[in-house]
Amino acid sequence: MSRLLPFIGFMLLVGLFGFGIWWNTQHDPNAIPTPLLNKPAPEFNLPKLYEPAQTVSKADLLGRPYLLNVFASWCVECGVEHPVLTAEGPTLGVELVGYNYKDAPDDAKGWLAKHGNPYALLIADEPGHTAIDFGVYGAPESFLIDAKGVIRYKHIGPLTPEVVAKELKPAIAAMLKEAP
């Protein structure tokens, strides 16, 4: 027994390290939890990307759920996410609202012209002040906001088909079941 003790200790360490590796494949180690989950989304009032004279506020979007997708033309991962949004967007059952983050409007428009525009509505936050209220620290990030303006789900990093199927769609289903 006592001779087995070091071996058991070793196996415990192996188990611990294996768990650490598995955990990091299942979770984004750079994602930090948002304290805003299940809380009302922050107030905002931002210009539309294509009509900067018009602004959109949080109150304007109340009444119907939407997926607020933070993106930018300078963001490499957004290019990875974009085809997923284009393909899955129409099947989600909620509107896609594009949140153009710290981007020159012309760059954003050029990027959308090149890759296609999956968004029903596009708002622009060039200075990035409102994004701080949302706890945004990079792009892409996505917020699922319900009809009452409450944040129901947040994803940091690109939405992949797996994330859409395993996390986003169940979150949307739960939200729609609660308040159709």
Partner 1 sequence: MLLRHHRRSPLAGDAFAFANADSRIPNPGTKASPASGLLRVLLLLVLAFAGLAHAQAIEPMPFKDHAQELRFQHLTRQLRCPMCQNETLADSNAPIARDLRNQIFRMMQQGKSDEQIKQYLVARYSSFVLYDPPLGPHTWLLWFGPLLILLGGAGVVLVAIRRRSRANSAATTDAAAGNGPADNGDDW
Contact present, 55 and 47 (Cβ < 8 Å): yes
Nearer to partner 1 by Cβ, of 8 and 120: the residue is 8
- Could you give the strand order of the β-sheet that contains 95-101, starting from the edge strand earlier in sequence? 121-125, 95-101, 66-71, 141-145, 151-156
Residues numbered 93-122 forming contacts with partner 1, rule: CB under 8 A: 102
Does residue 25 interact with partner 1 by CB under 8 A?
no
Q: How far is the CB of 172 from partner 1 (least distance, A)?
A: 24
| Residue 137 makes contact with partner 1 by CB under 8 A | yes
- The smaller minimum CB distance to partner 1, of residues 65 and 135, is found at 135
Report the Cα 123 to chain-centroid distance in Å: 15
Question: Where in 38-97 is the site for partner 1 (CB under 8 A)?
Answer: none
Sole window of 17-25, 32-40, 52-60, 84-92 interacting with partner 1 (rule: CB under 8 A): 32-40
For the CB of residue 5, give the shortest distance to partner 1 in the complex, in Å: 9
CA 66 to chain centre: 12
Q: Which residues contact 30 (CB under 8 A, 6 or more apart)?
A: 156, 157
CB of 161 vs partner 1, minimal distance in Å: 26
Which of helix, strand or coil describes residue 170? helix
- Nearer Cβ to partner 1 (96/139): 139
Nearest to 75 by CA among 99, 52, 51: 99
By CB under 8 A, name the binding residues for partner 1: 2, 30, 32-36, 102, 128-129, 131-138
